[in-house]
Structure 1
Amino acid sequence: MTACGLDFGTSNTTLGLNGPNGPRLARLEGTADTLPSAIFFPWTGTPLVGRAAMAAYVGGEQGRLMRALKSVLGTSLIEETTPVGRRRLGFKGVIGEFLAEVKARGEAETEGALSAVVLGRPVHFVDGDADGDKRAEETLGSIARDIGFTALSFQFEPIAASLDYERQVAGEELALIADIGGGTSDFSIVRIDRGHQNRADRASDILANEGVRIGGTDFDRHLSLAVVMPLLGHGSPLKRKGLAMPAALYHDLATWSAINRLYDGRTARSIRELERAAARPELVSRLARAVEEERGHGLALDVEAAKIRVAEDGATVLDLAVLEAGLSVGISHDDLIAHTGLLAERIAGRIASCLTAAGLKAEAIDALFLTGGSTRLAHVRAAICACVPQARVIEGDTFGSVGTGLAIEAARRYGG
């Protein structure tokens, strides 16, 4: 039985494999061991995934781009369908097509079938909804079986990251694992000891798990709503006193998993009616163009890229010429903090709950292990580090630690 570890992420996906030299990540797209969790359905031809999917969309090819698919697990959206050309596809089937391609690429590298898998999962797929959380895990498990896995199990993503970190340590320590991904932020407090790696049961080493459904896509959404959407009429008044543009349109346009809702024709017509009723019709005209030309995913990509540039360089200019010649908006690091600072505080707030659940004070934590793309945001990182100020900060593989840890767990559970 050939086993693997599958980290299906909101933003990126990895596949962990085992070999004679230990765990490694499969090359899923060229030489890259990460695959953006995106799929593009051209009007004709074979679906594309990952960077190729986004390149086709950005390049103007006609079709439907879908990203952040993981975020529909545990929600009512998983039962809905979305138009793809002249077809309608269910979200469960869309996720299945994406993960089947990931599995096939891993099998091409191993030159054999992958029959067993340990699937990564967040501590909470859905906040405050035990039934929704259970449904999400069951749905993901069902999809894994449908694409050919005959044995499967789950592991919390931060626990998987701790298994990757454990390979680096010399002795015993208490580690807080912070996995801040695209859709969720997850924390585990784990007793790390290299000598424990081969134990069949590590339950006593896992002291606490906590999580919240906030991740990088939420930072993108808040930044978009605050900086970009007002240029498209968000918050602007209608001519009729006391009424404003419907906020739901802008929230959908700023949310990866909801953008496709706008592309049904009826929404475009209703926006044109709102344009005539708007006190600032020139703004609503930009919204109409974004929807009619299906620019929503492109805008979301641009906002994400702008967020990253601000995190790295301190400021950027977001070019919006696709909506109107010469249109742009500047974004500073202060803007990023102003519009997403509360998200960072909410993420860090879960650490206190995790420490309480473990029965520990902050000073008991020896190491803080950071993984996940959103740990690159300075204010997120600072908020987390402030919760355990005495801990040694360890940089994990931003996108690969979870997948590597899942491969380690797969070898333990299924023998390789």
Structure 2
Amino acid sequence: MKLYPGLDFGTTNSTLALAGRGAAPRLVALEGEHVTIPSALFYSLEDGQTYFGRAAVFEYVDGAEGRFMRALKSILGTSLMQEKTAVGRQRLSFQELIGHFLRHLRVRLEAEAANDAGIVADQIVLGRPVHFVDEDAVADRQAQDQLEAAARAEGFRHIQFQFEPVAAALYFESQVNAEQLALVVDIGGGTSDFSVVRLSPERAKASDRRSDILASTGVHVGGTDFDRLLSIAEMMPHFGLGSETADGKRRLPVWYFNDMATWHRINTLYTPKILRDIGQMKKEAAEPEKLARFEHLLSHRSGHRLAGAVESAKIALSAEDETLIRLEETGLSLAAPASRQRFDEATGELVGRIEGAIDAALAEAGVAAAAIETVILTGGGAQVPAVAAAATGRFPDARVARSDAFGSVGLGLSIDAARRFA
């Protein structure tokens, strides 16, 4: 049987799945036995190797000398895609960096194909958010073109795209036994997407499902945005955010701290000029010890370690009312309290944008909230209690289905690939 791949290249995690006509989809192990892989790279200056996924995170957290990259999907369609960044002695474009990660996944696909002659490795369906870039159709199209070009450069010859929430619906549909109207809520690492879809065992047999997709909306809000606001609220004040100069005449510039709290902006701070700027600010600051901590982040390239600690606290607050954000390393020891209440207050605007996008999906579909029979929650961000409440609160009579948080999109993309290419 021919098997076709679907690839969910995510902001924080990625998956690769295979499916054939009439065959259940399956995820491919991408890192040991793990079927998910963090969308991260580490370019080691110690041994010259490139590490991917958990191995990349380990090398970075372990203190190896090198360059750590994560959340590259967030850069698609932005002006950063036109820039190059230093990686050891090379200067690489962000499209090349994304290509390196896709190449690693293609190597895993080819290894799988070596054991199964039925796997078609050069045809693939890639997932994409409803909007890579909000309210900018040109930039949104550029983002898809950039991702396609990166994939094509790594050997994928026949490339199709499918909306990520639609893919999640296709996977869930394999479990339904009667027609229903579903809302798919996909809260990813960088975007949140919503689709109103008609599902049924009979409709599942059709190769063209466009008429069953009543609406697809999205907003550029995802898990990394929740990380950013949690960091700004609870951690950046310990590094100088909100501080004044010693003469009390002005506050310190905020953009340094905003960038340090933003996954895909952290690496842009690691320059001699920024280090000099912070050193000068420390001399002028009323609380120089806080700027000394920021200097440490720069000189030790600890920004992503801090971001990882914030992310861990966000996950902890999904189950707990209070936690600590800890960063412990040579030269810096910090443990800051964080509470569910303050987290909800800091991220209320993000939740409001998600609610607005859900309302827009219902309006586009021309259906009332009462008509939704099932709400399908997927994506890691859907684990945030305030997000889950916002996604389900207007549908009190609907079944809430918590799909595979990290695998459902990839599985659905492979189902779509089998329908398109078989």
Fold shared, TM-score > 0.5 on shorter chain: yes
The 5-angstrom pairing of residues 304-383 of structure 1 reads 304-322=311-329, 326-383=333-390
Q: CA deviation at 1:51?
A: 0.4
Query: Which of 21, 36, 39 does residue 37 from structure 1 map onto?
Result: 39
**Equivalent residue number for residue 125 of structure 1:** 132
1:200 correspondence with 2:223: no
Aligned mates of 1:322, 1:272 — CA distance in 2? 21
Query: Which of 33, 45, 50 does residue 47 from structure 1 map onto?
Result: 50
Quick one: which amino acid aligns to residue 213 of structure 1?
A: H
Q: CA deviation at 1:2?
A: 5.7
Aligned mates of 2:371, 2:220 — CA distance in 1? 26
Greater Cα shift, 349-358 or 239-248: 239-248
User: Residue 286 of structure 1 contacts residue 323 of structure 1 at CA under 8 Å; is this kept in 2?
Assistant: no
Q: CA deviation at 1:322?
A: 3.1
Aligned mates of 1:291, 1:323 — CA distance in 2? 14
Q: Deviations over 1:110-139 (max 9, x none)?
A: 316610010100000000000000000111
Query: Which of 25, 28, 52 does residue 26 from structure 1 map onto?
Result: 28
Going from structure 1 to structure 2, the CA distance change for 1:55 and 1:301 (only over 3 Å counts) comes to same
Aligned mates of 2:333, 2:307 — CA distance in 1? 19
Quick one: which amino acid aligns to residue 17 of structure 1?
A: L
Aligned mates of 2:260, 2:131 — CA distance in 1? 25
Aligned mates of 2:391, 2:149 — CA distance in 1? 35
**Equivalent residue number for residue 239 of structure 1:** 246
**Equivalent residue number for residue 232 of structure 2:** 225
SS, match of residue 319 in structure 1: strand
Q: CA deviation at 1:200?
A: 2.3
Aligned mates of 2:165, 2:334 — CA distance in 1? 42
SS, match of residue 131 in structure 1: helix
Q: Deviations over 1:355-394 (max 9, x none)?
A: 0001100000000000000111111100111122221101
Q: CA deviation at 1:280?
A: 1.0
User: Residue 352 of structure 1 contacts residue 387 of structure 1 at CA under 8 Å; is this kept in 2?
Assistant: no
Q: Deviations over 1:184-228 (max 9, x none)?
A: 000000000111122122111000001000000000000001100
Aligned mates of 1:410, 1:273 — CA distance in 2? 55
User: Residue 212 of structure 1 contacts residue 347 of structure 1 at CA under 8 Å; is this kept in 2?
Assistant: yes
SS, match of residue 335 in structure 1: helix
Aligned mates of 2:332, 2:171 — CA distance in 1? 48
Aligned mates of 2:75, 2:94 — CA distance in 1? 8
User: Residue 305 of structure 2 contacts residue 327 of structure 2 at CA under 8 Å; is this kept in 1?
Assistant: no
**Equivalent residue number for residue 95 of structure 1:** 98
Q: Deviations over 1:44-67 (max 9, x none)?
A: 322000000000000111101100
**Equivalent residue number for residue 108 of structure 2:** 105
Aligned mates of 1:386, 1:127 — CA distance in 2? 25
Going from structure 1 to structure 2, the CA distance change for 1:405 and 1:387 (only over 3 Å counts) comes to same
Aligned mates of 1:391, 1:2 — CA distance in 2? 35
**Equivalent residue number for residue 216 of structure 2:** 209
**Equivalent residue number for residue 68 of structure 2:** 65
1:412 correspondence with 2:419: yes
Q: CA deviation at 1:240?
A: 4.3
Q: CA deviation at 1:21?
A: 4.3
Quick one: which amino acid aligns to residue 76 of structure 2?
A: L
**Equivalent residue number for residue 269 of structure 1:** 276
Q: CA deviation at 1:327?
A: 2.7
**Equivalent residue number for residue 152 of structure 1:** 159
Aligned mates of 1:404, 1:325 — CA distance in 2? 42
Aligned mates of 1:305, 1:209 — CA distance in 2? 31
Q: Deviations over 1:221-268 (max 9, x none)?
A: 000011000000001001344321111101111111111111111111
Aligned mates of 2:92, 2:222 — CA distance in 1? 26
Q: Deviations over 1:342-364 (max 9, x none)?
A: 21121122111110001100000
Structure 2 regions of 5+ residues with no counterpart? none
Greater Cα shift, 381-390 or 34-43: 381-390
Aligned mates of 1:260, 1:386 — CA distance in 2? 38
Aligned mates of 1:70, 1:197 — CA distance in 2? 30
Quick one: which amino acid aligns to residue 30 of structure 1?
A: G
Q: CA deviation at 1:313?
A: 2.5
Q: CA deviation at 1:326?
A: 4.9
User: Residue 83 of structure 2 contacts residue 93 of structure 2 at CA under 8 Å; is this kept in 1?
Assistant: yes
Q: Deviations over 1:246-297 (max 9, x none)?
A: 1110111111111111111111111101100111111111111111111101
User: Residue 289 of structure 1 contacts residue 323 of structure 1 at CA under 8 Å; is this kept in 2?
Assistant: no
Going from structure 1 to structure 2, the CA distance change for 1:26 and 1:54 (only over 3 Å counts) comes to same
SS, match of residue 25 in structure 2: strand
SS, match of residue 22 in structure 1: coil
Quick one: which amino acid aligns to residue 407 of structure 1?
A: S
Aligned mates of 2:148, 2:268 — CA distance in 1? 26
User: Residue 198 of structure 1 contacts residue 412 of structure 1 at CA under 8 Å; is this kept in 2?
Assistant: no
1:7 correspondence with 2:8: yes
Aligned mates of 1:326, 1:403 — CA distance in 2? 39
Q: CA deviation at 1:325?
A: 5.2
How many pairs are equivalent? 415
**Equivalent residue number for residue 114 of structure 1:** 121
**Equivalent residue number for residue 168 of structure 1:** 175
Superposed CA RMSD in Å reads 1.4
User: Residue 293 of structure 2 contacts residue 332 of structure 2 at CA under 8 Å; is this kept in 1?
Assistant: no
User: Residue 2 of structure 1 contacts residue 116 of structure 1 at CA under 8 Å; is this kept in 2?
Assistant: no
- Determine what percentage of the aligned residue pairs are the same residue: 47
